[in-house]
Amino acid sequence: MDADEEPTGGGSPLDDEEPTDDGPPQDEAKPDWWRKNERDRDRMDLPAYEPSQFEDGTYAHRVVSDLETTHGCSITFIGLNVQYPDSWAVWIDGERAFTVERSRNENGNTVYHVDAEEFRDRVAATVE
């Protein structure tokens, strides 16, 4: 996981965030890791921060949190010894399940090259 990436699995700290897919939450509803990334980028005069997203614009942490609850599992994106733009592995309950292509958008934020529905289907097929 990159240093500027948000947690995506294992009980990510999202309890104070509204679970909608209609854009970023209001500042007071953003998890601490999101606000920290915004402050760090503001301080360094970098482009706006947004958490990693799937191709359809859905925030990955929201989908992962829902899937972890639904399937009672832990889901983590892991890139070990990778170089940009290598694929990252998706691990489910500590086991490598599949990989996803990824890139950075114009603001340097991660975009996974799969839409949220396909990701949900791939996770469901793995845990069944």
Residue 57, Ramachandran bin (φ over 0: left; ψ between -120 and 50: alpha; else beta): left
Buried b (16+ CB within 10 A) or exposed e, 96-111: ebeebebeeeeeebbb
HSE on the CB side for 84, CA within 13 Å? 9
In this predicted model, which residue has the larger pLDDT, 27 or 5?
Answer: 27
Instruction: Write down the H helix ranges in the chain.
Output: 32-43, 60-71, 116-127
Domain locations in the chain?
27-127
For residues 115 and 56, the answer to whether their CB atoms sit within 8 Å is yes
Please tell me the predicted confidence (pLDDT) of residue 33: 86
Please tell me the predicted confidence (pLDDT) of residue 28: 64
In this predicted model, which residue has the larger pLDDT, 22 or 47?
Answer: 47
Q: What is the number of other CB atoms lying within 10 angstroms of the CB of residue 65?
A: 22
Q: Give the mean model confidence (pLDDT) for residues 67-84.
A: 94
For residues 128 and 124, what is the distance between their CA atoms, to the nearest angstrom? Answer: 6
Amino acid at 33: W
pTM of the model: 0.72
